[in-house]
Chains A and B, each alone.
Chain A
Amino acid sequence: MGTVDKSFEAGLHTEQLRGRTQQTFFSATEEENFTYPYNAFEVDRAKKGEFDAQDLETSEINLKIRSLMEEGCGHIVVKNPRAKHSIGVGILNRLTLDFEGSLGYFGCGLIDGPNIHISGRVGWSFGENMMAGTVVIEKNAGSTFGAAIRGGDLVCKGDVGSRTGIDMKGGTIIVGGRQARFLDS
């Protein structure tokens, strides 16, 4: 028996590579590619929920988004985020999320799936480690925009800061305005 046959017998070739966003292991027939494997919420995009974040703390805002998703809201509008840090992080769900205002540092990190629109500006390290989804930012972004993203589309209509897309493994970053010098060269 040849070495190759032995390896088949030992079951070393049964592993299936899978992944929805990063590379080409995409197969339209696989159910898994169209469902969210995590503990995702069943949401209806036509059902809209909104709240004012003016007097809420960061964790209260994030929990509020989560509880609206639990109620089945597929379209959430957050008013007056007022540049607070770490808002909209860890959303592993299909969701339309609108921020009416600006976000601070580390906004919308670790997301997988949502379609986000931000009418203001974002601080540094926005969308860090994003896996999938789309984000459109109307104004400027800070440094390390889209750090370590692995998939999805990140669009900033204004200027971005230094080190945009540092450690980026996949996905797309589109910038409408100016960018830091090292991207010029």
Chain B
Amino acid sequence: MCGIAGIIRRGDPGNIGEEMTSMLRSLKHRGPDSTGFAVYGLPEKDQYVMRFKVAEQEDIGKGFDIHEQIKDRRATVNSRLKELGVEILSEEEATDYAFRYTLRYDGDLRRMADYIEDIDDAEIMSLGEGLELIKDLGDADVVSEQYGLGNFNGSHAIGHTRMATESDVDIRSAHPYWAYPFNDVSVVHNGQLTNYWKWRRTMEHRGHRFMSHCDSELIAVYLADKMDNNIGLEEAMTDSLDELDGVFTYVVATSDKLGMAKDVMAAKPMVIYESDDFIALASEEVSIRKIFDHDIDTFDPYEGEVRVWEL
């Protein structure tokens, strides 16, 4: 049991950081292990935002000499970026081990991502023009405060509260997942995939990278593989209903779209509110009601349903 949520503000960007925090706060009972946000800010021209970590939270508590190692790893990241000709515009320290860089780069993103993740324990959470992906252990309030999300303006967002059932409780197994190496694509998932290993092997043969043993990462990789073959988001999501096995409901966001898919057994919940300029979806209606004062109409999608909204 996990909680997932998504919001779109059409044509009227607002404080989605605060809204998503209050949505996830009310889903805490669905999973208190970790919380993740994928928020889409207002992109600046020719500029990428990269969020990455160089250590796990638990390493900080017990790792020998970890603070020195973190410094070294970060210095290596910086020097490798320079080596590739990436211009670092700004550096921010969100926590001791997670950083936010803004970059200017016109080369191959996959090559750059691979080169950075080659460093010990370095993982790129997200890389994109608008997307910023934030995930850590703790509930929505803890993570939101730690990463200063209370005041984040943007157009759309997805979020996740996790109850770990298939893999460890750490940052690398937390949602959302970035669909490496496609900029601005992220996924959150509630459910279990039963043909994970079959697909993981297939995907590894095709050269995709897995950072965790979390089955939800497969959805991100699966969609990335489809996009690699120039298959559109909606079509890829429809294919996933046949090709992925298990019970699942997942939400995907790209720079200009947000979509949801529900498996044919419809065992994982989803409630949707839809109006002309605002769309909100979540595992439970309490979550949607947190951001509305007035009464609203909501509905459940059916089994095997895929919906994609454009911004």
Chain B residues 257 to 282 lying within 8 A of chain A, measured CB to CB, are 266, 269, 271
User: Which A residues lie within 8 Å of B266 (CB)?
Assistant: 143, 161-163, 180
- Contact segment of A7-15, A41-49, A88-96, A117-125: A117-125
Q: What distance in Å separates the Cβ of B289 from its nearest Cβ neighbour in chain A? A: 5
User: Which B residues lie within 8 Å of A82 (CB)?
Assistant: 286, 289
User: Which A residues lie within 8 Å of B302 (CB)?
Assistant: 161-162, 180-181
Q: What distance in Å separates the Cβ of B271 from its nearest Cβ neighbour in chain A? A: 7
Q: Judge whether A104 and B286 touch: CB under 8 Å.
A: yes
B46 at the interface (CB under 8 A from A): no
User: Which B residues lie within 8 Å of A143 (CB)?
Assistant: 266, 269, 300
Question: Which chain A residue has the least Cβ–Cβ distance from B286?
Answer: A83
- Tell me which of A101, A123, A163 contacts B271 (CB under 8 A): A123
B117 at the interface (CB under 8 A from A): no
- Contact segment of B225-233, B234-242, B291-299: B291-299
User: Which A residues lie within 8 Å of B303 (CB)?
Assistant: 162, 180-181
CA distance A108 to B297 in the complex (A): 20
User: Which B residues lie within 8 Å of A162 (CB)?
Assistant: 266, 300, 302-303
A129 at the interface (CB under 8 A from B): no
CA distance A102 to B288 in the complex (A): 12
User: Which B residues lie within 8 Å of A123 (CB)?
Assistant: 269, 271, 284-285
User: Which A residues lie within 8 Å of B300 (CB)?
Assistant: 124, 140-143, 159, 161-162
Q: Judge whether B297 and A139 touch: CB under 8 Å.
A: yes
Q: Judge whether B285 and A104 touch: CB under 8 Å.
A: yes
Q: Judge whether A142 and B295 touch: CB under 8 Å.
A: no
User: Which A residues lie within 8 Å of B271 (CB)?
Assistant: 123, 142
Question: Which chain B residue has the least Cβ–Cβ distance from A160?
Answer: B300
User: Which A residues lie within 8 Å of B298 (CB)?
Assistant: 102, 121, 140
User: Which A residues lie within 8 Å of B299 (CB)?
Assistant: 121, 140, 158-159
A99 at the interface (CB under 8 A from B): no
Q: Judge whether B269 and A142 touch: CB under 8 Å.
A: yes
User: Which B residues lie within 8 Å of A181 (CB)?
Assistant: 302-304
CA distance A140 to B295 in the complex (A): 14
CA distance A120 to B297 in the complex (A): 8
| Chain B residues within 8 Å of A, Cβ to Cβ | 266, 269, 271, 284-286, 288-289, 295, 297-300, 302-304
Given contacts A140-B300, A142-B271, 6 further A-B contacts (CB under 8 A): A82-B286, A83-B284, A85-B286, A104-B284, A140-B297, A158-B299
What are 7 A-B pairs with beta-carbon distances under 8 A?
Answer: A82-B286, A121-B297, A121-B298, A123-B271, A142-B300, A143-B300, A162-B266
